[in-house]
Structure 1
């Protein structure tokens, strides 16, 4: 099982979210998920909104092309990136490590 899969042109990621972090970044694997740190607190949907904005910027798409498919109220989330324009450098390194295994 991998933390990502392609479905046609869409990238689906299994994420483990760490809210209230000092920085926003992709920081490796957490079990079967990609760990993502974000600055936003996990209250009133702020973390989900911030995650959507962070992922949109990272993948070069509009916020409407980032869909949280499951895990709205959990740290474990499945996120769909609709037709990503780019793959973030930190994530592309992870993908290369995963594919080599």
Structure 2
């Protein structure tokens, strides 16, 4: 199965622990990492970092000024996540949670690097 077909079908290629969860708190694959995000729309400015224990495990918190209307907060959160992880926004796509504050994003980048950056933002770790 090709990478595109797996991504479209939602299939996971490998996992990092027995439960299939990565250090970022969500399932990881060979070519991408899944990042759990708790979005706080309507903030006075973009703020990233912090931890929220949500339905997808420990989540990174992103406060965005966009309102939760017609996907604007989701798009703002996607771009804020890309900026925080220092990847192009085109490499970050929504996996689930379009109408929820708890979202899963797939980041098409080195999973180890993504997890390290997410851990640093989410937990304040200096690793």
Fold-level similarity (TM above 0.5): yes
Shorter-chain TM-score range: 0.7 to 0.9
Can you give the 5+ residue segments of structure 2 that lack an aligned partner in the other structure?
Answer: 1-20
Q: Which of the residues 12, 29, 48 maps onto 2:34?
A: 12
Distance in 2 (alpha carbons) for counterparts of 1:44 and 1:7: 30
Per the TM alignment, residue 95 of structure 1 is displaced from its structure 2 partner at its CA by 6.9
Say whether 1:75 aligns with 2:101. Answer: yes
Q: Between Structure 1 and Structure 2, how many residues are aligned?
A: 97
Q: TM-score, normalised by structure 1?
A: 0.74
Equivalent residues of 2:48, 2:80 under 8 A apart: no
Q: Find the counterpart in structure 1 of residue 44 from structure 2.
A: 22
CA RMSD in angstroms comes to 2.9
In the alignment, the residues of structure 2 paired with residue 57 and residue 33 of structure 1 have an alpha-carbon distance, to the nearest angstrom, of: 17
- 8 Å contact from structure 1 (residues 26, 90) kept in 2: no
Q: Who wins on radius of gyration, i.e. which is larger?
A: 2
More strand by proportion, 1 or 2? 1
